[in-house]
């Protein structure tokens, strides 16, 4: 995936734009990262640390200048530099073609990570080949835009580096709204595999209650095991826990509407893995059945905030 | 979260407080919210509509005892296939208290109470750190002068075009300098007598937000009980 990040100048603070990076192998794997993405090799890591160090020094110098001069604009700069942010990470990704039809959702997210607690209202529009995500500040100003055409992703940071990387938000949206096969399976576990991601849904009455997404083969970092992503469909919200990326987010649907474009044909699931209970015939279950799809974001879904769900762990 | 206050001059908190409070007023109301500016109808009606006197309009705006205005906001973004619509009510209690309630879509409240700003929605309640959003802060700062009716300062920040036709008036504000001009190309306000009927904010990329105001009580006097209820904190997240 190609990722282009174009942060703009804030109140006196200009953030360098990242470059578009080609994807060497798997097209939909976001190996390419924008400026805040975790590097994948030692050289990049070293470069990032060096950049961080310089950034810290500049920030300290700026803060001294601000304190000495009492400059309003400069204090804004220090605010930008010192603000805690969620680390951009390589999260879950799938082709947009899995979604049944074009739709639009307005959501509010509460993202929590170490030293970050951030509200993010945003709107996301999806079609079979594009995804547009516009994030707003709590005050209603545009914070960033993300446009994905096929596998190319263009990020435009309008008010400086976003506290929550738009790429993470996109990953969350994809994770929670990838169509489920619950409608065609009995209660229990329904597992499917998209490329190198295994998605396991806990189904009840044709709807997913919980979802676990695990990279195949499972990655083990620092002894961590288990899924990369967990999604919980609560009564009034959807919780997404990005274990590898060390943050969680609670999404509440504000409004949803289908777009005018005709719906795309459902795609077939590439691989179906055995389920805990006897389920639909392997390899034939179509995804995107409206009644089974989680109701937030791109999938064709009713306006209800989330599938009916039993009591579960609430947002923090 | 970092706060620039720690590194700023001593008198910043007071300024920030005033800024935050009045700020929201326009930020939330206009392109970024919605707000009805209204003042003493007699004074403003007498002056502003008939003789195109911007000074009289500004005087009227700062003399309102309180405002309750219903608004309807439409954001037209080039990237989106259809506008974003929202409706709600704004409560303004001079000199520095404001509540913006959005009733559709979803339900949320933005509360500015002196130097405290918080946001409440289905995800809970959260205090906002304006220092982390310098652009919004700058925008907010620029509007304080409008609510203060500071015509001189207003004209330092904006090129103004004011015109009137009978009781109807129009005020166009074009930012003179950065960083505001990176965010806003112009504000176009229009109204009748002492009230604003419509506000349009155009961003440099062409995106625009149009806020229209419906039922407005520009002379509302808030009672203690009403204020207590209005500024009561919602559930902690």
CA distance linking residue B199 with residue B186, whole number of Å: 10
| pLDDT confidence band for B53 (50 / 70 / 90) | confident
Strands (E), chain B: 67-76, 84-93, 97-104, 108-113, 116-121, 124-127, 158-165, 168-175, 186-192, 195-202, 208-217
Burial category of B201 from C-beta neighbours within 10 Å (exposed 0-12, middle 13-18, buried 19 and up): buried
Beta partners for residue A149, in sequence order: A130, A152
The span from the CA of A230 to the CA of A215, in Å, is 12
CA B74 to chain centre: 15
CB atoms within 10 A of CB B100: 27
On the question of pLDDT at B66 being above 80, the answer is yes
Are the Cβ atoms of B123 and A110 closer than 8 angstroms?
yes
Percent of chain B with pLDDT over 70: 67
Chosen from A140, A145, A160, A240 to mutate, greatest number of chain B CBs within 10 A: A140
Distance CA A14, CA A80 (A): 10
pLDDT at A160: 79
Flag if B2 and A78 touch (Cβ within 8 Å). Answer: yes
pLDDT digit string, tens, across residues A250-302: 999 998 887 764 444 444 444 444 443 333 332 222 223 233 444 443 333 33
Q: Which of B3, B5, B8 to mutate to test the interface with A (most CBs of A within 10 A)?
A: B8
Which B-chain residues 162-181 have CB contacts (< 8 A) with chain A?
Answer: 179
CB proximity A152 to B under 8 Å: no
Between A81 and A19, whose confidence is greater?
A: A81
User: How far is Cα B162 from Cα B169, in angstroms, rounded to an integer?
Assistant: 7
Domain boundaries, chain A: 89-129+162-316
Are A25 and A31 a contacting pair, CB within 8 Å?
A: yes
Contact B123 A108 (CB under 8 A): yes
Q: Where are the domains of chain B?
A: 11-216
Report d(CA B100, CA B108) in Å as an integer: 8
- Structurally, at CATH architecture level, domain B11-216 sits in Clam (2.50)
Does B125 have pLDDT greater than 80? yes
Please name the residue ranges forming H helices in chain A: 42-69, 72-82, 166-177
**B171-218 pLDDT, tens per residue?**
999 988 877 787 789 999 998 877 789 999 999 999 999 999 998 888
Q: What pLDDT, on a 0 to 100 scale, did the predictor assign at position A135?
A: 95
Q: Is A108 within 8 Å of B106 (Cβ atoms)?
A: yes
Tell me, what DSSP letter sits at residue A269? P
Place of tokens 């300290």: A60
For A133, the enclosing helix (H) or strand (E) is: strand A130-136
3-class SS of residue A31: coil
Is A260's CB within 8 Å of B138's CB?
no
Q: What is the DSSP letter of B202?
A: E
Could you give the CA distance from residue A284 to residue B66 in angstroms, rounded to a whole number? 64
B25's enclosing H/E stretch is helix B12-27
């Amino acid at each position: 995936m190609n990722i282009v990040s174009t942060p703009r100048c804030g109140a006196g603070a200009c953030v360098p734009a990242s470059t578009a990076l080609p994807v060497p192998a798997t097209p939909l794997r976001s190996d390419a990262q924008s400026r805040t993405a975790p590097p994948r090799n030692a050289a990049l890591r070293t470069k990032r640390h060096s950049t961080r160090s310089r950034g810290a020094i500049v920030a300290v110098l700026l803060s001294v200048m601000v304190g000495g001069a009492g400059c309003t604009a400069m204090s804004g700069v220090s605010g930008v530099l010192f603000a805690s942010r969620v680390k951009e990470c390589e999260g879950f990704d799938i082709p947009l073609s899995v979604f049944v039809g074009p739709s639009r959702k307005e959501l509010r997210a509460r993202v929590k990570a170490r030293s970050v607690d951030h509200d993010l209202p945003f709107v996301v529009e999806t079609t079979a080949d594009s995804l547009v995500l516009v994030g707003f500040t709590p005050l209603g100003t545009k914070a960033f835009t993300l446009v994905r055409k096929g596998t190319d992703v263009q990020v435009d940071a309008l008010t400086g580096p976003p506290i929550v990387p738009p790429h993470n938000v996109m990953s969350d949206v994809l994770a929670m709204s990838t169509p489920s096969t619950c409608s065609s399976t009995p209660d229990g576990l329904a597992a499917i595999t998209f490329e190198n991601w295994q998605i396991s849904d806990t189904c009840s009455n044709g709807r997913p209650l919980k979802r676990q997404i695990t990279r195949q083969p499972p990655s083990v970092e620092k002894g961590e095991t288990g899924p990369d992503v967990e999604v919980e469909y609560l009564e009034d919200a959807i919780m997404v826990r990005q274990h590898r990326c060390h943050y969680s987010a609670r999404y509440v649907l504000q409004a949803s509407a289908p777009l005018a474009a005709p719906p795309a044909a459902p795609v077939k699931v590439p691989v179906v893995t055995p389920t805990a209970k006897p389920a639909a015939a392997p390899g034939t279950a179509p995804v995107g059945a409206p009644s089974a799809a989680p109701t937030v974001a791109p999938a064709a879904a009713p306006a209800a905030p989330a599938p009916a769900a039993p009591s579960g762990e609430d947002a923090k | 979260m970092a706060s620039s206050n720690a590194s700023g001059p001593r008198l910043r908190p007071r300024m920030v407080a005033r800024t935050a409070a009045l700020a929201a007023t326009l930020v939330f109301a206009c392109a970024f919210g919605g707000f009805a500016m209204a003042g003493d109808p007699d004074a403003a009606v007498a002056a502003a509509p008939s003789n195109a006197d911007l000074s009289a309009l500004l005087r009227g705006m700062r003399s309102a005892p309180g405002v309750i205005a219903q608004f309807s906001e439409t954001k037209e973004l080039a990237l989106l296939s259809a506008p974003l619509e929202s409706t709600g009510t704004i409560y303004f209690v001079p000199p520095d208290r404001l509540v913006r309630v959005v009733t559709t879509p979803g339900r949320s409240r933005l509360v500015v109470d002196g130097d405290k700003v918080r946001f409440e929605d289905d995800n809970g309640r959260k205090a906002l750190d304006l220092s982390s959003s310098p652009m919004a802060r700058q925008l907010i700062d620029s509007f304080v002068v409008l609510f203060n009716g500071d015509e001189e300062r207003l004209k330092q920040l904006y090129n103004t075009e004011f015109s009137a036709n009978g009781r109807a008036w129009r005020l166009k504000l074009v930012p003179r300098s950065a960083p505001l001009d990176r965010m806003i190309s112009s504000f176009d306000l229009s109204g009748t007598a002492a009230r604003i009927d419509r506000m349009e904010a155009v961003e440099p990329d062409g995106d625009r937000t149009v806020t229209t105001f419906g039922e407005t009580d520009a002379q509302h006097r808030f009672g203690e009980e009403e204020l207590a209820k209005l500024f009561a904190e919602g559930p902690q997240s």
